[in-house]
Amino acid sequence: MPAIVEVQHLSKKFGTFTALDDISFSVNEGDVYGFLGQNGAGKSTTIRCMMSLIKPGSGSIRIFGLDLATSRKKILSQTGAIIERPDMYKYLSAFENLSIFARMSGIKPSREKLLQMLTFVGLRNRESDKVKTYSQGMKQRLGIAISLIHDPRLVIFDEPANGLDPQGISDIRHLILRMSREQGKTVILSSHLLSEIEMMANRMIIIDKGKKIVEGEVAKLLDPARSLVKLQTPETERAHSFITGKGIRISESINGEYLQFELNRNDIPALVGGLCQEGIPIRDIHAMHSLEHYFLSLTNPAAHG
């Protein structure tokens, strides 16, 4: 797939604070691209640069093969976005809001088109209700409808699940996956909810303190051979001896009852069987093969060794 977004050597300072430090990445057409980092890592600053809301100190941004610095209007006409919480007219209905924002985008969709979009985001039965009566999750879904009404090629969401309950987070996740699979949208998704990114993104970047840490395909970066296993047993010395005897390096012993080590997820059942045969009791064992552990191991290796 060709690159739809190319960011090269992007840097930005606010006074003496370096928000972005020589970041480069690319997003391919059709990607759901996860943009990951702890609060203050530089995610929102990067997105604001991409939306031409702030000007980078140095570097270049090309979207749809065009330079953002010289083709801003054309690029933004093909881009949809939610930056933080969407602003709406709370005393107007969802239908009226969507109609107004469509006209702001320079289009005049039919009533049927507007209702189709509200159906897509799950608001078809509430289209006449004032937005002030909506939950935060409903407002977020209406924001997604607004971002899609002009049929953009690229959609950018900055922390779309912020402040939502578990059901709201699930609703947003399924909407993002549907717009990718059913509508063929390229999606850039910034979030600190790492498990959500793991369920949605096919490619990702992790940034920390304004610097790129890693970029690549999620499936390759999350190699199952690098699952972190945490074993709880009252007989840590015997378990330690047995596990190291299998050629497995114990990375950490915790409080005299936990052992931590890396192991291919597929090899865990055989290890458990061996421990049981040796009569070593197991109180708990679980693998932390997740984007969260991977992310924390990169951004804070001393604490997550």
User: Phi, psi (5° rounding) for residue 175?
Assistant: -65, -45
At the topology level, CATH places domain 3-219 in Rossmann fold (3.40.50)
Global pTM value: 0.79
- With pLDDT > 70 as the criterion, what percentage of the chain qualifies? 91
* pLDDT exceeds 60 at position 278: yes
* pLDDT exceeds 80 at position 297: no
Beta bridge partners, 5, equal: 27, 63
Contacts of 230 (CB under 8 A, 6+ apart): 258, 259, 260, 284, 285, 286, 287, 288
Q: How far apart are CA 105 and CA 41, in angstroms?
A: 31
Q: Where are the domains of the chain?
A: 3-219, 224-289
Q: How confident is the model over 113-136, as pLDDT tens digits?
A: 999 999 999 999 899 999 999 998
Q: Is the dihedral of CA 277, 278, 284, 285 positive or negative?
A: negative
pLDDT tier at 258, thresholds 50, 70, 90: confident
Residue pair 282/232 in contact by the 8 Å Cβ criterion: yes
Coil, helix or strand at residue 44: helix
Could you tell me which CATH class the domain 224-289 is placed in? alpha beta
* pLDDT exceeds 70 at position 242: yes
Average pLDDT, whole number, for the chain? 88
Q: How far apart are CA 99 and CA 287, in angstroms?
A: 49
Give the pLDDT score at 305. 44
Residue pair 24/8 in contact by the 8 Å Cβ criterion: yes
Q: How far apart are CA 26 and CA 42, in angstroms?
A: 16
For the chain, what is the radius of gyration of the CA atoms? 23
User: Phi, psi (5° rounding) for residue 14?
Assistant: -115, 100
CA distances from residue 74 to 48, 59, 67, 69, 80 in whole angstroms, order as listed: 17, 20, 10, 11, 12
Q: How confident is the model over 46-67, as pLDDT tens digits?
A: 999 999 999 999 999 999 999 9
* pLDDT exceeds 70 at position 16: yes
DSSP annotation of 95 reads H
Q: How far apart are CA 156 and CA 160, in angstroms?
A: 9
Among 9-18, 66-75, 208-217, 295-304, the range scoring the smallest mean pLDDT is 295-304
Beta bridge partners, 13, equal: 18
Q: How far apart are CA 202 and CA 213, in angstroms?
A: 17
DSSP annotation of 280 reads -
H or E stretch covering 272: helix 268-277
Report the relative pairing of strands 32-36 and 17-28 from DSSP bridges.
unpaired
H or E stretch covering 259: strand 258-263
CA distances from residue 128 to 94, 108, 115 in whole angstroms, order as listed: 6, 19, 11
pLDDT tier at 79, thresholds 50, 70, 90: very high
Cβ-based neighbour number of residue 88 at 10 Å: 20
Q: Which residues of 173-195 are buried (b: 16+ CB within 10 A; e: fewer)?
A: bebbeebbeeeebbbbbbbbbbe
Among the listed residues 200, 209, 211, the one whose alpha carbon sits nearest the alpha carbon of residue 291: 200
Assigned token pair, 237: 């010395």
